[in-house]
Amino acid sequence: MAGGYLRYDIPYLEQLPIADFTERIPENHFIRLSKHINILKSTNNDSTYYENKIDALVFHLYGLTEVEMNQVLDTFKDLISENRNHIVREYVNIANSTFQLEI
């Protein structure tokens, strides 16, 4: 941080692990879920169900094992067990090719 602002240089950004989701998960899953979440939030409706689906997609996208996913979920201090269980179920659904958008 210099001069009161952060600077992101290309060499540093190139080191970030950005997954290529087109090989593992259809791009439209993220787009459709994100649009639906935005609509729900703009009307003050709960979007947690769909946010959980995105969480599961991201875990799968980065190739995390179920153990690794649970380790990450352990760091989510405000995550209630109902949502955690939903994320795990969706992760398993993705692995078993039974994931559904349900929008």
CB of 21 within 8 A of CB of 30?
yes
Residue 15 lies in a domain: no
- Residues 6+ positions from 86 with CB-CB distance below 8 Å: 49, 52
Total domain count, the chain: 1
Residue 5 lies in a domain: no
Instruction: Please determine, for residue 24, whether its predicted confidence score (pLDDT) is greater than 70.
Output: no
Residue 9 lies in a domain: no
Residue 26 lies in a domain: yes
Whether the model clears a pTM of 0.85, i.e. scores above it, the answer is no
Q: Sorting pLDDT into bands at 50, 70 and 90, what band is 47?
A: very high
Instruction: Please determine, for residue 21, whether its predicted confidence score (pLDDT) is greater than 60.
Output: no
Cα gap 91→43, rounded to integer Å:
28
Alpha helices in the chain (DSSP H): 10-13, 27-42, 48-61, 66-73, 81-95
Cα gap 77→67, rounded to integer Å:
18
Phi, psi of 15 (to 5 degrees): -85, -15
Domain that holds residue 91: 20-95
What integer pLDDT is reported at residue 66 of this predicted model?
Answer: 95
